[in-house]
Amino acid sequence: MLTVLIQRLTADGWFAIRTAFARIRWIKEGVKRRYNTPMGSTIRFVEQHWDTLLLPLSVMAVTLLTGLVVRNVVFRTLRRWAAGTKSKLDDIVVEALRSPFMIWVLMLALHFGAQTSRLPVPAQNTTAQFLLILFIISMTLVFSRLARVLIQLSAGGLSSTSLTGNVVRIVVVLLGVMIVLNTLGISILPILTALGVGGIAIALALQDTLSNLFGGFSVSMAGQVRIGDYIKLDSGEEGYITDISWRSTSIRSLQNNAVIIPNAKLAKATITNYNLPEQSMAVSVAVSVSYDCDPQAVENVLLDEARKAAEQVPGLLSAPAPIVRFMPGFGPSSLDLTLICHVRKFEDQYLVQHELRKRIFRRFREAQIEIPFPTRTIYMHDESSKT
């Protein structure tokens, strides 16, 4: 019995030893296979050069942590300061700088890491130049956004046109490209010369397009036609301006239809702007009464109704005060008067005229003021009586 037990333990021990050695061989083969892959090469490189990578990685980590702390502290303080001012410009600048700040910190960390590493000097210089180009590109994007916002603020809170915004962005991007080319040591003078020569051919081929483009510039920069203004052209088109693009101006009519007008036509047209010099405007309501009525009594009734309506009808202004004029005067069958009042904006005139006419008609019935029908007296001469 003892002999059988010893034999069994011996067999189990040899089996365990063989299993352990087989597992060790499997692990070694797996490690070899991993080292033959790109990830394995990276792991082997880190294992062999961990001491040389320790300093650059530490510098990068410290730079990132410092940048994160600076971002949280500085921008929290700047936000509080901007919230206490009346201007919106500081809020916009703070938000525009906050978004790419950590990207700039990452670029700075990579730069410090490359400078503290054992890379060759040419590789360090190439890395620094590459990071500088990325920084210039990011600053270009930030300034293009800020430039468009400044255009909107300078317009007095009005929405800027897509033409203005696109032109500003193109100018800023071109400046950024010129700075990048200068950083790379590429001369921009030959490029500008080629663009100047090619620009002449382009201008000749795109005369209509350029006329619309510069027409849009003249309309936008003059400030006499703005986004949101209600205008009417001498050709009959009218509506609210919704946008001025590089080719055309979009107008939304009161029927909610879009009217597209080429900028060249708009620049040459005679335009009536109902929002300038101010948004409020005068509205007239014509009233005709019988010759039997007292014009002064009719005037008093009209003024009384207009004053009451100013407190109840949306868009009707109490100042300037409404007035009545005996115009156009003596009609063929009636006395014609005109009630003149002021509304807040152009589209308010329709509701105001609607309500005033209903109130005047009701009041005339109560005061028994007659609104005459058009009549004509015909005198007929009897030619037979003369003979």
Which residues touch 144 (CB under 8 Å, ≥6 apart)? 168, 169, 172, 173
- 192-201, 208-217, 242-251, 286-295: which is most confident: 286-295
- The whole-number pLDDT of residue 18 equals 61
Record the pTM.
0.56
The answer to whether the CB of 82 falls within 8 A of the CB of 91 is yes
Tell whether the model's pLDDT for residue 66 goes beyond 80. Answer: yes
- The whole-number pLDDT of residue 270 equals 85
In angstroms, the Cα distances linking 36 to 42, 164, 193 are 10, 57, 54
Calculate what percentage of the chain has a pLDDT beyond 90.
Answer: 2
- Asked which of 192-196, 356-360, 371-375 is least confident by mean pLDDT, the reply is 192-196
CA–CA distance, 219 with 158 (Å, rounded to integer): 15
- The whole-number pLDDT of residue 109 equals 83
- Asked which of 132-146, 191-205, 355-369 is least confident by mean pLDDT, the reply is 191-205
Q: What is the pLDDT of residues 7-34, one digit of tens each?
A: 544 555 555 556 655 665 655 555 555 5
- The whole-number pLDDT of residue 279 equals 84
Give me the amino acid identity at 181. Answer: L
- The whole-number pLDDT of residue 226 equals 82
- CATH class of the domain at 207-273: mainly beta
In angstroms, the Cα distances linking 267 to 247, 260, 270, 273 are 12, 14, 8, 14
- 79-93, 207-221, 270-284, 367-381: which is most confident: 270-284
What mean pLDDT is predicted for residues 257-265?
Answer: 87
CA–CA distance, 139 with 172 (Å, rounded to integer): 10
Angle between helices 2-35 and 38-83 (to 10 degrees): 60
Which residues touch 147 (CB under 8 Å, ≥6 apart)? 168, 169, 171, 172
Is the C-alpha dihedral spanning 217, 219, 224, 228 positive or negative?
Answer: negative
Closest to 363 in 3D by CA, of 300, 318, 313: 300
- The whole-number pLDDT of residue 180 equals 81
Q: Quickly state the pLDDT bin for 385 (edges 50, 70, 90).
A: low
Q: Quickly state the pLDDT bin for 382 (edges 50, 70, 90).
A: low
Q: Quickly state the pLDDT bin for 271 (edges 50, 70, 90).
A: confident
The residue count for the chain: 387
Closest to 293 in 3D by CA, of 335, 332, 327: 335
Average per-residue pLDDT for the chain: 76
- Opening angle at CA 90, ends 85 and 94, nearest 5: 125
The answer to whether the CB of 273 falls within 8 A of the CB of 241 is no
Torsion angle of C-alpha atoms 139, 145, 147, 149, degrees rounded to 10: -150
Q: What are phi and psi of 269, to 5 degrees?
A: -80, 160
The answer to whether the CB of 336 falls within 8 A of the CB of 329 is yes
Largest CA distance in the chain: 173
Q: Quickly state the pLDDT bin for 196 (edges 50, 70, 90).
A: low
What mean pLDDT is predicted for residues 59-70?
Answer: 84
- The whole-number pLDDT of residue 157 equals 44
Q: How distant is the alpha carbon of residue 170 from its chain centre?
A: 16
Q: Quickly state the pLDDT bin for 383 (edges 50, 70, 90).
A: low
- Asked which of 18-27, 171-180, 212-221, 318-327 is least confident by mean pLDDT, the reply is 18-27
What mean pLDDT is predicted for residues 289-314?
Answer: 88
Q: What is the pLDDT of residues 94-107, one digit of tens each?
A: 777 777 788 888 88
Tell whether the model's pLDDT for residue 49 goes beyond 60. Answer: no
- The whole-number pLDDT of residue 9 equals 43
More confident call, 178 vs 222:
178
Q: What is the pLDDT of residues 239-253, one digit of tens each?
A: 888 888 778 888 898
Q: How distant is the alpha carbon of residue 169 from its chain centre?
A: 13
Tell whether the model's pLDDT for residue 4 goes beyond 50. Answer: no
- The whole-number pLDDT of residue 34 equals 53
Closest to 142 in 3D by CA, of 88, 106, 96: 96
Is the C-alpha dihedral spanning 59, 61, 66, 71 positive or negative?
Answer: positive
Domain ranges of the chain: 51-186, 207-273, 281-366
CA–CA distance, 81 with 66 (Å, rounded to integer): 22
CA–CA distance, 337 with 286 (Å, rounded to integer): 6
- Asked which of 53-62, 150-159, 334-343 is least confident by mean pLDDT, the reply is 150-159
- Opening angle at CA 26, ends 22 and 28, nearest 5: 115
Domain 281-366 fold is Alpha-Beta Plaits (3.30.70)
Tell whether the model's pLDDT for residue 167 goes beyond 80. Answer: no
* H/E segment holding residue 270: none
| End-to-end Cα, the chain, rounded Å | 172
Tell whether the model's pLDDT for residue 237 goes beyond 70. Answer: yes
**How many distinct helices (H) and strands (E) make up the chain?**
12, 9
Any bridge partners for residue 241, and if so which?
Answer: 251
